[in-house]
Amino acid sequence: MAELRLRDIRKNYGTVEVLHGIDLDIRSGEFVVFVGPSGCGKSTLLRAIAGLEDISSGEFRIDGALMNDVAPSQRGIAMVFQSYALYPHMTVFDNMAFGLKIAGFRKDQIAARIRQAAEILQLTPYLDRYPRALSGGQRQRVAIGRAIVRDPKVFLFDEPLSNLDAALRVATRIEIAKLKQAMPGATMIYVTHDQVEAMTLADRIVVLRDGRIEQVGSPVELYRRPANLFVGQFIGSPSMNVLGGTLARTGPDTRVELDAGFTVAVPIPTEAAMQGQRVHLGIRPEDLRPCSTDPLFRATISLVEQLGEVQLTYLDLPGLAAPLIAKLPGHLDLHPGRDIGLTAEAANLHLFDRHENAIRPAEAGHKVAVPAE
C-alpha cells in the first residue's frame, strides 16, 4: 500500500527541461498508466519515480516521506524493464533471488518467496533455466517475478509488452491485469505508448505531451470527455476526425460553419463573445453512421479497409488535408467512388476552441474568458 505525491517535478538535461512541473497524486492500490507519444517524458517521469534519474526540482513523496534523494533500492519500488533486463549469466531462480540475497534474506526465506512467485507466474518448471532458454513471454514473466519477490510498495512497468509479438502481447496484458487483481493493494505505474494497453489496464490514465500532463482521468472519461484536442486525437483508434470551422451561432443552440462546406448544430452552449471565432469539431470514426435521409454531410469514399466486423471508410471532404475516417458496419456495401451520407449523435460531437481546449457545457462560460488574440 503506497500513496505517491508528485509536486512540480522538473527534470533538466543541461539547459533543456524535459519535465515541466508535473503535479500528480496516485492513490494507494491504483493502477495508473502514463501514455503519450515518443519523447513526451513518460519514461523519464517513471525513471524519476524509480530513482534512476535525479529530479531537478520539485517534491516526490511516497506515503508522505520525501524520496528525492533516497536510493532506488530504498524506495520500496520494483521495476519491470522494457528489455526485461534479466541477468543472462544467472538462472531464473538466481535472477529472482539476486535482490533478496543483496538485502540479506535467509536462504529458506528466499526459496519460499521465489516458489510462491513462480507459482503465481507459472514459472516453476523453468527455475533452473537460463534466460536464453526462455521464450519472450516467459522472460517477461521472470522480470515480473523478480519484481514480485521483493514485495515492493510500488510496481513500475516501462513498456513491458513492446518487445512481444501481437498475440503474446494480448496474453501478457491479460496476465498483468490478473496480477493486479491478485494484488489489489499494490500501486502500479505503467508506461506505454499503446493506448489499448492504457485503456484496458488503467484505473486512471495520465496523458503526457512535451513533458506536461495534458489530462488525468479514467479511460472512459478520457475517451468521452477529452480535455483538449490532443487527448481527443490521442485516445481512440483510428483517431478522432477533426474539422476546422467558425462559430456561426452562439448560445444554447451553437452552430458551427465548417470549412468542409456544411453547418453543424452542436448541443454545447457557447458565449456570445465567441461568435465568429475559429473552432475545431471532433467526431470519432466509430460515432459516424450512414444516413440516407437528412445526413450531417455527404462525402465520396476514397478507400475502404474491410476488417470483417467493421470497415474503415476513408472519405474525401473539401478543405480537409487528411481524409475523414468512418468506422462503419462490415456488412455494408461500400466501395471507392460511392457517395455516402453520414450523421452522428449530437451528444457525441466534441467542440474545441481556437486554443484547442474542449468547450464543455459546464465549462463553456469559463472557456469564453480566454482573452482574444
Partner 1 sequence: MTAASSRSFWAGMSQAFLWALLLSVGVVVVYPLLWMALGGFKSNSQIFEQPFALPLQWSFANYLSAWQGVQGYMVSSLLITVVSTVTTVFISAWAAFGLTRTPMPAKPLVTAIVLGGMMLSPTVALVPLVRMLQSLGLYDTHWALIILYTAFRVPFTTFLIRAYMLDLPRDLDEAAMMDGANPGQIFRRIILPLCRPIIMSCIVLHILFAWNEYLFAMIFTNNPSVQTLPVGLTSMMSKQGTDFAQVFAAMTISALPIVIIFFLTQRYFIRGLTEGIGK
- Kindly indicate which of the ranges 97-105, 126-134, 216-224, 338-346 contains the residues binding partner 1, using the contact rule CB under 8 A: 97-105
- Binding-site residue total for partner 1 (CB under 8 A)? 21
Q: What residues from 288 to 317 belong to the interface with partner 1 (CB under 8 A)?
A: none
Of the residues 1, 65, 66, 103, which one makes contact with partner 1 according to CB under 8 A: 103
Q: Closest approach of Cβ 154 to partner 1, in Å?
A: 11
If one asks whether residue 87 binds partner 1 (CB under 8 A), the answer comes out as: yes
CB of residue 153 vs partner 1: minimum separation in angstroms? 13
Smallest gap from Cβ 188 to partner 1, in A, equals: 15
Should residue 85 be labelled a site residue for partner 1 when binding is judged by CB under 8 A?
yes
Q: Binding to partner 1 by residue 280, rule CB under 8 A?
A: no
Tell which positions 118-157 bind partner 1, by CB under 8 A: 146, 150
Please give the Cα distance from 120 to 225 (Å, whole number): 37
CB of 96 to partner 1, least distance (A): 10
How near is the Cβ of 270 to partner 1 at its closest, in Å? 50
Q: Output the smallest distance, CB 101 to partner 1, in A.
A: 9
Between 159 and 197, whose beta carbon lies closer to partner 1? Answer: 159
Binding residue for partner 1 (CB under 8 A) from 1, 8, 59, 89?
A: 89
Interface residue with partner 1 among 73, 124, 135, 348 (CB under 8 A) is 73
26 sits near partner 1 (criterion: CB under 8 A): no
Integer Cα distance of 330 and 347 in angstroms? 24
HEC letters along the chain: CCCEEEEEEEEEECCEEEEEEEEEEECCCCEEEEECCCCCCHHHHHHHHHCCCCCCEEEEEECCEECCCCCHHHCCEEEECCCCCCCCCCCHHHHHHHHHHHCCCCHHHHHHHHHHHHHHCCCHHHCCCCHHHCCHHHHHHHHHHHHHCCCCCEEEEECCCCCCCHHHHHHHHHHHHHHHHHCCCCEEEEEECCHHHHHHHCCEEEEEECCEEEEEECHHHHHHCCCEHHHHHHCCCCCCEEEEEEEEECECCEEEEECCCCEEEECCCECHHHCCCEEEEEECHHHEEECCCCCCEEEEEEEEEECCCEEEEEEECCCCCCCEEEEEECCCCCCCCCEEEEEECHHHCEEECCCCEEECCCCHHHHHCCCCC
Q: Does 105 bind partner 1 (CB under 8 A)?
A: no
Smaller CB separation from partner 1, 105 or 262: 105
98 interacts with partner 1 by CB under 8 A: yes
69/333 with CB nearer partner 1? 69
**Which residue intervals of 79-165 are DSSP H helices?**
92-102, 107-120, 136-148
Cell 518467496 sits on residue: 113
Q: Does 358 bind partner 1 (CB under 8 A)?
A: no
Stretch that binds partner 1, among 35-43, 85-93, 241-249, 314-322 (CB under 8 A): 85-93
The answer to whether the CB of 130 falls within 8 A of the CB of 93 is: no
Name which position in 52, 111, 168, 170 contacts partner 1 (CB under 8 A): 52
Q: Given the complex with partner 1, which of 189 and 315 has the nearer CB atom?
A: 189
Binding site for partner 1 (CB under 8 A): 50, 52, 72-73, 77-79, 81-83, 85-89, 98-99, 102-103, 146, 150
